[in-house]
């Protein structure tokens, strides 16, 4: 039996429209990421549970990693394979939130390596709003497609008469 690739789900929170569009990204916590910036940020996301609907997992993970629970509607952005083999599904949701209020859950790992000591680190150590050009530079390469898909969806929505591309 073939093994399934790991599946994750996440939310891309956005605010503004057209020329002032911004997206919220999270910077991964822990010692491996502390000195990385460009190409290191991510949409808040995590693994989908065995009996969990992907959108439910995306909402749960966003809340766990940021402390914020955005309300829909949720715009599907599809899925994208990541360089490491994981497949990420994403939804966009419009909302404004103060990224300084981030409250992330934590993970434990041995640190420093081979020290025998375990330390806790936040899954996301900070969050920030980025304009589209900056977001494309900051986000992990495999997730940039979600920013592009959001732009496409918003452009299609404006063309069809909805203000923000999300049919309510």
CA 42-125-5 angle, to 5 degrees, is 40
For residue 17, what pLDDT is reported? 82
For residue 30, what pLDDT is reported? 94
For residue 32, what pLDDT is reported? 92
For residue 157, what pLDDT is reported? 81
Question: Distance between CA 165 and CA 151 in Å, rounded?
Answer: 9
Nearest to residue 76, comparing CAs of 66, 68, 88, 84? 88
Q: Which residues pair with 103 in a beta bridge?
A: none
- Is omega for the bond preceding 77 within 30 degrees of 0, making it cis? no
* pTM for the predicted model, two decimal places: 0.90
Q: How many other CB atoms sit within 10 Å of the CB of residue 91?
A: 25
Contacts of 3 (CB under 8 A, 6+ apart): none
Domains and CATH numbers, the chain: 7-159 (3.90.79.10)
CB 12 within 8 A of CB 43: yes
Tens-binned pLDDT, residue by residue, of the chain (168 aa): 445 678 999 999 999 987 799 999 999 999 999 999 999 999 999 999 999 999 999 999 999 999 999 998 999 999 999 999 999 999 999 999 999 999 999 999 999 999 999 999 999 999 999 999 999 999 999 999 999 999 999 998 854 444 444 443
């Amino acid at each position: 039996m073939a093994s399934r690739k790991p599946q994750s789900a996440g939310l891309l929170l956005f605010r503004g429209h057209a020329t002032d569009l911004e997206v919220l990204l999270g910077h991964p916590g822990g010692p491996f990421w502390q000195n990385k910036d460009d190409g290191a940020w991510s949409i808040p996301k995590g693994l989908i549970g065995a009996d969990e609907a992907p959108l439910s997992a995306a909402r749960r993970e966003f809340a766990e990693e940021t402390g914020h629970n955005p309300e829909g509607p949720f715009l599907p952005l599809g899925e994208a394979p990541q360089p490491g083999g994981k497949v990420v599904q994403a939804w966009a949701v419009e909302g404004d939130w103060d990224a300084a209020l981030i409250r992330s859950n934590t993970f434990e790992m041995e640190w420093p390596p081979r020290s025998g000591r375990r330390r806790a680190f936040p899954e996301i150590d900070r969050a920030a709003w980025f304009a589209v050009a900056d977001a494309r530079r900051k986000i992990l390469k495999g997730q940039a497609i979600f920013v592009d898909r959001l732009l496409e969806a918003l452009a299609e929505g404006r063309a069809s008469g909805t203000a923000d591309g999300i049919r309510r």
